Structure 1
Amino acid sequence: MMAKRNSILLIAAFGLFLTGCSKSGLEVTKNDILEVVRDDANASKKDCENVVIKEEKGAYIVSFNTSGGSYEYKIGKDGIIQERNYKRSNSKEVSTTEPVVEKKESTSFDENQQAAIDAALANAGLGQEDVTDIGCTLDEATQQYTVTFTFQDIKNTCMVDAGTFTVLSSIQG
């Protein structure tokens, strides 16, 4: 129980550290970046193989493999995930990937709905091609869009301000 509490405190402290870095203009280290991507991928240090970190203009490109698949991240020097790519490994057919496009339904959204969807996906570090089952509805009473989508079989719900297209909350599960 004590170890779990210490882990939670460490994650909270690290989150505050990253928040402080983004406001003060400080840059995070490569070790900090590795912690961010491992946490996002829900992988421990021993789970990650073939870890590569490259520095580009204003960002780090991090790639690694786990038993579940391969990951590639673009992380800003402020510690914020800018892009995330995941390819699930398939022990029977390693060279094939699941065609996400076939899972999507053809749904059209108006300009404001699309802006809310774009904001929610950017907040999650995803593109529209990465997700399925996208939905967007406006609550006129609160002037908030509810954006829903599925990523890696996990349903995500984001609340987006209809005036500023700022993500107000994000829930997984």
Structure 2
Amino acid sequence: MVKRRKRNSFIILASALLLTGCVNSELEITKNDILEVARDDANATKKECSNISIQEDKKYYTVSFDTTTGSYDYKIGKDGIIQERNYKRSNSDEAKEVSTIAPVEEKKEETKTETKKEEKKESTSFDENQQAAIDAALANAGLGQEDVTDIGCTLDEATQQYTVTFTFQDIHNTAIVDVATFTVLSSIQS
């Protein structure tokens, strides 16, 4: 009987707190929450982020951090909604990509199955700008080109955007990438 009263008291207290939170329309998010919003948008873990900076203004936070693929700058409202997003790709990313190509070539010689997979992937060639758009879309998803299949990239000249498509673990992904900055504007999984 005493346990039941405690449980009922707890439920009443939790309901009261929930209602109080719903009534308070001025509820603001903490700096840690804002950083989590930015990291989630960038598909970056805590370990992948360095040089983290969070500045608080009256109506928004300015968040910036670096990852191995580039630098991210965000302007996030105190309601947790991203108002602006900027991504600058790092030059060290290109060097990293070059270093991962060499082991793949060694694997081609090791087994016939891996050679066939690599030849199939390389059968579609992309120009330099298409490859940059693909790299941006894959970095945004936290993947490498060796992780995905069925890669495609088309340019919509009217909107000046690339549409990058790829499959990862039987999930079809589509990303829209800006032609001028190679920034991922949106991504959809289906």
More strand by share: 1
The TM tier, using the shorter chain, reads 0.3 to 0.5
User: Highest CA radius of gyration, 1 or 2?
Assistant: 2
TM-score by length of 2: 0.43
More helix by share: 2
TM-score by length of 1: 0.47
